[in-house]
Structure 1
Amino acid sequence: MEEDYKTDRGPPPPYPTPMTPTPRPPPSGIRIPLQLNSRIPDLRSTRAPPCYDGDGVSPVFIGSAIFQSSVHPCKIAPHLPFPCRVPYAGTEVEHQGRYDLLPFDPDAMEWVCTSLGRIPQGRYPVAGGYEEDGTNLYHARARVGQTWVPGKTGEHLGGCNVAYGGQEHVVSTSYEILCWRSATHLGKDK
């Protein structure tokens, strides 16, 4: 029977085996590309939001805003007229270009407390973007009052920068950086 299959139809199709490697998502995770007038997908795609706005009800997602020569981690608040907000130059920039929503996957990602722009030892932060000079930026979140707000961090920033209430807030201690739960994701298992 196998001989007939080979001669009539070519070789049998390859079947996954336990040794077949599972493709890994990129270090920045699998993202949902959006524009200013895009509709935010449902929770099956976005997963549960990692934050809520000051009202305690409106979801706030994490993402990356794409500029001409840089990409900045941002917050995505679908209830706002300009949902993509970037902390930059002391203000809350209402980004009107393309941005990518990063679904928060608690099975693969976790928030890790840090301070002063440090990457916690032995941890692998989720890539969030880069400055114009190529310096890495990572997803982070910090409290403004009682509200967790997504933003950005990097060793050169010395803290976490978030956009909230029309301003850029800089939090230098006790904020959280988004990290992969294990190095398996990046192919760095020991």
Structure 2
Amino acid sequence: MTEYLWVTCTPDWVVPSTALRGGTDMDGAPIFVGRALHEGGWIPAKVIPDKSVAYVSYGGAEHAKQECQVLCEQHFEWVPSSDGNVPPDAVSSGTSGGEILYIGRVHHSDSVTVGKVHPSHGVCYIPFDGNEVASTNYEVLVLKTGTAIFLKYTFFYALCIIDYKMADYYWEDITTSDELPSNALYAGYEADGSKMYVGRAYHEGDWIPAKVIPDKNIASVCYGGAEHLKDEYQILLASGSLDALQWMPSSNGDIPNKAVPGGQTSDGETLYVGRVQQSGSVTIGKVQPSHGICYIPFDGLEIGHKEYDVLITYP
């Protein structure tokens, strides 16, 4: 099994600079990905240094921990999943009762909370407000393909290359107040010329492709006939050359080979990154194959187009 760099939290709750942030508490406090021992097993934990505490969920309750470990090195990404399914390269915290548990997170009550994916139960459990809360829809932490990670030995660290071929893209958490990374994909523009980038955001149980407009500090998705603004989202970033991401014309819900998945509905349908021309703009949206349409967020509305471009990896 792949080893990860887990670092024991210090008594003063200062986490390493490379600790992996996994979410945000209801009051805005950062939540980091961790694990803690409970009832003989290593269980995924939400670590909140600002409150000098970590929590795990077990047996229907939330349990506070003063000793824990945090996951370090920024070589991971979050992948939507559901019903106990776990994608390849998912990150495990260890075992409990002989079953492997995986790192997950859930959007719940204005928070993004780290928890444990329990495959045999078909859910991700999170510790929240004293309880163990279950969700059939969640994100799973996975190791980026082609990432270098550190294997911990007694006196030194050995660099290990996991895979030769790096994926062409990855998603990274960001907010509208953050500086846009230089490897973000410029993919469209507003009618006034403002540049538009590819993102995705969580809304009503769906992960939805988003249009991101840094000049206006705006990110938005479309859902249920309307456009919805988002302060927190993920930005699509190129692992290498931006030329590895191209656009291909399509229509009527058809999806070309090597199309880039941009999200997933709460019932498990994959959504793809699309774009269309609309009123002097080139606007990013979601291609929903079962509807035969690319929907875009525009002027407060959700607008459907049967002809569109789909983002693909190339060659």
Counterpart amino acid of residue 25 in structure 1? A
Please tell me whether residue 40 in structure 1 is matched to residue 180 in structure 2.
yes
Q: Secondary structure at the match of 2:183?
A: helix
Q: Secondary structure at the match of 2:209?
A: strand
Counterpart-to-counterpart distance in 2, 1:177 and 1:157: 15
For the 8 Å contact 1:65–1:86, the answer to whether it is kept is yes
Partner of 1:63: 199
Q: Which runs of 5+ in 1 are unaligned?
A: 1-12, 183-190
For the 8 Å contact 2:183–2:242, the answer to whether it is kept is no
Q: CA 1:169 to 1:22, structure 2 compared with 1: closer, same or farther past 3 Å? A: same
Which one has a larger percent strand, Structure 1 or Structure 2? 2
Q: TM-score, normalised by structure 1?
A: 0.72
Counterpart-to-counterpart distance in 1, 2:221 and 2:261: 16
For the 8 Å contact 1:118–1:154, the answer to whether it is kept is no
The Cα shift of 1:74 comes to 0.8
The Cα shift of 1:88 comes to 1.1
- Identity within the alignment, %: 25
Partner of 1:78: 214
Counterpart-to-counterpart distance in 1, 2:269 and 2:160: 42
Q: CA 1:70 to 1:145, structure 2 compared with 1: closer, same or farther past 3 Å? A: same
Q: Which runs of 5+ in 2 are unaligned?
A: 1-157
Aligned residues: 156
Please tell me whether residue 87 in structure 1 is matched to residue 222 in structure 2.
yes
Q: 4+ residue runs of structure 1 moved beyond 4 angstroms?
A: 13-16
Partner of 2:287: 153
Q: TM-score, normalised by structure 2?
A: 0.45
1:53-73 Cα offsets, whole Å, 9 max, x none, are 1112x1110111024632100
Q: CA 1:136 to 1:89, structure 2 compared with 1: closer, same or farther past 3 Å? A: same
Could you say what the CA RMSD is over the residues aligned between the two structures, in angstroms?
2.4
Counterpart-to-counterpart distance in 2, 1:151 and 1:134: 18
